[in-house]
Chain A
Amino acid sequence: MLTRAANKRLSYIILVVPTLTLFLLFVILPIIYSFFLGLTDWSGYGAFRFIGLRNFQDLFSDRVFYIAFRNNIYFILASTFGQIPIGFFIAYLLHRKLVAGRVFFESMFFLPMVISTIVVAILWSNIFSPQIGALNVFIGRLLGQKNYVLPWMDNLGAAIFPVCFVLIWKYAGFYMLIYLSALQKLPHEMIEAATIDGARESQIFFRIIIPVLWTTLQTTIVLSISGSMRAFDLVFAMTGGGPAHSTELLATYMYNKTFEVYRYGYGSAISTMIVVISVLLIGSSIWLTGIRARGERTGS
C-alpha cells in the first residue's frame, strides 16, 4: 500500500510524463540536434564532420539567402502594415456598430482562415494564372481588351507581391477576431460618459481605445513576426520559390537545400538562422512597443 504522498507523486508522473516525453523528444531534441547539424557538412549519410561556422560564412555570401531573408521581411511588413490595420479597422467598425450585419461580416472575413493554405495557394495561383486567370480576364474586361495579361507577372523583383497579397487575404480576418475580442474588454461606461460629454469619435478613439488596446497591438505584432518566419506552405504551393528563387523564403530555401540537394548541414544552418532571426525580431519588437507603453504610463 502506497502512502498518500507517494500515491500523489506517482499520479503526477503518470499525468505529466507522457506529454513531456513526447514534447522533449519531438520538439526540443530536434531543435538542439539542428543547431549541432548546422556545424557539420553532412550530406545525408556517413559520419558527421565538424566544419565550425563555415556554413554560416557561406550563408552570408549566399545571394539567395539574402533574397529569402528579404522576402521574409516583406511578409512581416505585409502582416504588420497590411493585416493588422485592416483587421483592426474592420473590428473597430463592427464593434462600435458603425455598420450593421456584424455576424455576417465577421464570419465571412474569417472564412479564409479555415481553408488550408495549400488550397488558398492553388486557388490564387489559378486566379493570377495567364491561361485561365480570373484576374486577367476581369481587368481585360474593364479595359476592353481581350487576352489581357498583367504586365508585372514576369517581373522577378515583383514576383513576391502577389504572394504578399494572398497572405493578407488569408490572415486579415484572424487579426480582426483578435481585435474584436480585445475590444470587448473596453471600459464601456467610460466611452458612454465621454460621448455624453460631447467627445468626438476621433477623441474616443485616440484617448480611450488606443491606450487600452496597446498590449493587444504588441501581441499581434509578435504574432505577425513569428507567423511570417514560419511561413512555408503558401510559397511552396504557389510559386515553389521561383521563378529563379525570387519568391524564396528562409523556410523554403532550407527545404530546397536539405531535401532537394541534400546539404543537410547547410540546411540546418538556415534553420538555426530562422530561430535566431525570429528571436531577435520578436525581442526587438517587444522592446520597441514597450518603450511606447512605458512612455504612456509616465504621461510623456
Chain B
Amino acid sequence: MIRKTAIRILLYFFLIGFAFLTLYPLFWLLISSFKSNQEILLNSLALPTTLRFDNYTEAWSLAKMGLFARNSVIYSASATVLTVLLSVSAGYGLGKFKYKVSGLIYSILLLGLVIPIHATLIPLFLLLKTFRILNTMVAVILPYIAFAMPLGTFLAATYIRDIPDEMEESAVIDGCGYLKIYWNIVVPIARPVMMTITIITFLNNWNEFIFVFLFTSSVALRSLSVGLLMFAGPYTKNYAMQFAAMVIASLPMILMYLVFRKPMVKGMVAGAVKG
C-alpha cells in the first residue's frame, strides 16, 4: 500500500513537472507581453508592474499585426471553404461511384500525404511565376487547397462510403440527378466530417509559413507567421511589442482549440494515423 502511494506520488511529480515545462513558457510569453522593454531587460522572470495594453495596440497598428491578421483570415478561410467543398465532392465521387479509375485516383491522392512539401517549393515557385500570379493571394490559396485536399478527400471518402446506399437509391428513383443528391443528401449528412476537415485545414493554414513567405513579396500580402518573423528577427530590440504580436498570432487558435477540442483532436489523430 505504501509502495503504491509512493509510486502514485512519483507519477504526479513527473506529470506536474511536464505540465510546468509545457505551460510555463506560454505563461512567460503572456506576462512578458504586458511588460515594458526595461522591465523585460531588467528581470525577465518578474511579473509586470502594470498591465501595458499599449504593447498590443502598438503591435496591432505599428507592427501591422492587424493587417497580417486580416490576411491570415482571408487565406485560411477561403482556402478552407474551397478545400472542404472539393474534398466532399471528390470524396462522394470516389467513395460512392463504383468506377475502376477511382482506386487509381485515390492512391495518387494518398501520395500527397507523404510527399515532403519542400521538395515541391522550387517548381511551384516557377509554376506560379509562369502563370503570372506570383505575389497575389491566389498564389497562396491554390497551393493551400492542393496540399490540404488529400487528407480532406480521404476523410470525406471514408465517411461518405458508410452512408447507406438506399438513401441515394431512393433519390435516384425519384429522378434526382447525382449533383442534386450531392447537394441535398450527401452534404447535409457529411456535416460532421466537414467540420473536422474545416478545423484541421483552418489550423494548418493559419500556422503555415513557407508558402506565404516565398510566393508573396509585398508587405501588404503577408500573413501573421511571416509578418511576425519579419520584425521579430534577431535584431529586434522591441521585445514587448514582439511578445504582444506573438500572443495576437496564437490566441485565435488557442481559443478555437478550447472550443472545438474534441473534433480537432479527432481530426488530427485520424489524419495522422490513417495517413
Contacts and interface: CB of A to CB of B under 8 A. Distances in A.
A216 interface: yes
Nearest to A140: B45
B146 A27 contact: yes
Interface string B85-126: 011011011100101001001001101101111111111101
Interface in B160-215: 177-179, 182, 203, 206-207, 209-210, 214
Contact of A219 (B15, B147, B234, B273): B273
B105 A20 contact: yes
Interface in A17-38: 18-20, 22-31, 33-34, 37
Contact of B40 (A15, A132, A237): A132
A181 B124 contact: no
Given A26-B146, A127-B25, A177 B268 contact: yes
B261 interface: yes
Contact of B122 (A12, A229, A264): A264
Interface stretch (A52-60, A61-69, A254-262): A254-262
B153 interface: yes
A243 to B, nearest CB: 11
A117 B209 contact: yes
Contact of A111 (B86, B243, B257, B269): B257
A32 B71 CA distance: 31
A232 interface: yes
A68 to B, nearest CB: 12
B220 interface: no
A111 B122 CA distance: 33
Nearest to B214: A259
Q: What are the 6 tightest A-B residue pairs by CB atom distance, in nearest-first order?
A: A11-B178, A26-B146, A116-B207, A15-B93, A30-B123, A33-B123
Interface of A: 7-8, 11-12, 14-16, 18-20, 22-31, 33-34, 37, 86, 90, 93, 98-99, 105, 107-119, 122-127, 131-134, 137-138, 141, 169, 173-174, 177-178, 181-182, 216, 219, 223, 226, 229-230, 232-233, 236-237, 251, 254-255, 258-259, 264, 267-268, 271-272, 274-275, 278, 282
Given A27-B147, A99-B12, A122-B232, 12 more contacts: A7-B177, A7-B178, A20-B109, A27-B111, A27-B146, A98-B11, A109-B18, A115-B253, A123-B26, A137-B45, A138-B45, A271-B121
17 contacts: A15-B92, A15-B182, A19-B87, A20-B105, A27-B146, A30-B124, A99-B15, A110-B257, A115-B253, A119-B225, A123-B29, A134-B28, A219-B272, A232-B210, A237-B209, A251-B116, A278-B114
